[in-house]
């Protein structure tokens, strides 16, 4: 889909409102009001609130997947050790989150408000994405680079912690986005205990 400026403004406004009031607590009229346009004008750009939600979540999923692909490629793919791949994935994920906290918040929380068919589709994409973390952790456990940990549980632990950034982080606060990325990468690496020498 070609993303026009207006379309992007609509999704930015909707992300902000969904984050603040939730999907069900936000109306198309609220989105129009935030942009200072008429509800009827909004419908020239979007077909429904559900359509806006899908677009935000779908593009966010694209960004997480593309960032993960690029990050793994950047460290040499499967030729690199599980510690390096884990670091690369975590760093990429946190960067996407802090780069647009509002859209990330919709991706993390409001995807549950998608219609059933789209929710099932998104659940499968989320699971495939999380499977990258599970595979690397399983690899690290198998090679002894990581502590013997359940990869499914450990991947949930780490990804939940990373996604939790949307709930508390303020980019204009004491901790810069770049520092946050490094702290979260360190905490996640240590949680699964990649050996320092493995890097």
Q: Which residues contact 9 (CB under 8 A, 6 or more apart)?
A: 35
Nearer to a second copy, 8 or 112 (CB): 112
Burial of 111 per CB tally in 10 Å (0-12, 13-18, 19+)? buried
- Return the residue of 92, 104, 122, 191 that touches a second copy, per CB under 8 A: 191
- Return the residue of 37, 193, 195, 198 that touches a second copy, per CB under 8 A: 193
Residues in the chain: 199
Angle between helices 101-109 and 49-74 (to 10 degrees): 110
Angle between helices 82-99 and 116-143 (to 10 degrees): 150
105: nearest Cα among 8, 7, 11: 11
Tell me the backbone φ, ψ of residue 144, rounded to 5 degrees.
85, 0
Q: Tell me how many residues contact a second copy (CB under 8 A).
A: 30
Nearer to a second copy, 129 or 157 (CB): 157
- Contact letters for a second copy, residues 23-62 (x by CB under 8 A): -xx-------------------------------------
- Return the residue of 153, 176, 178, 199 that touches a second copy, per CB under 8 A: 153
Q: Which residues bind a second copy (CB under 8 A)?
A: 22, 24-25, 147, 149-150, 152-154, 156-158, 160-161, 163-164, 167-168, 174-175, 180, 183-184, 186-188, 190-193
């Amino acid at each position: 889909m070609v993303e026009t400026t207006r379309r992007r403004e609509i999704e930015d406004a909707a992300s902000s409102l969904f984050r603040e009031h939730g999907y069900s607590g936000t109306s198309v009229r609220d989105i129009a009001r935030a942009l200072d346009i008429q509800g009827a004008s909004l419908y020239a750009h979007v077909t429904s609130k559900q359509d806006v939600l899908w677009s935000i979540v779908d593009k966010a999923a694209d960004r997480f997947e593309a960032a993960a692909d690029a990050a793994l490629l950047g460290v040499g793919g499967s030729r690199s050790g599980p510690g390096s791949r884990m670091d690369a994935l975590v760093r990429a994920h946190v960067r996407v989150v802090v780069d647009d906290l509002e859209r990330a918040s919709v991706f993390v929380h409001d995807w549950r408000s998608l219609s059933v068919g789209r929710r099932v589709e998104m659940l499968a994409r989320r699971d495939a994405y999380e499977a990258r973390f599970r595979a690397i952790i399983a690899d690290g456990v198998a090679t002894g680079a990581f502590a013997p940990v359940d990869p499914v549980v450990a991947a949930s632990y780490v990804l939940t912690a990373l996604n939790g950034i949307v709930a508390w982080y303020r980019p204009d606060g004491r901790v810069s986005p770049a520092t946050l990325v490094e702290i979260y990468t360190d905490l996640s690496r240590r949680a699964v205990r990649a050996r320092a020498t493995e890097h």
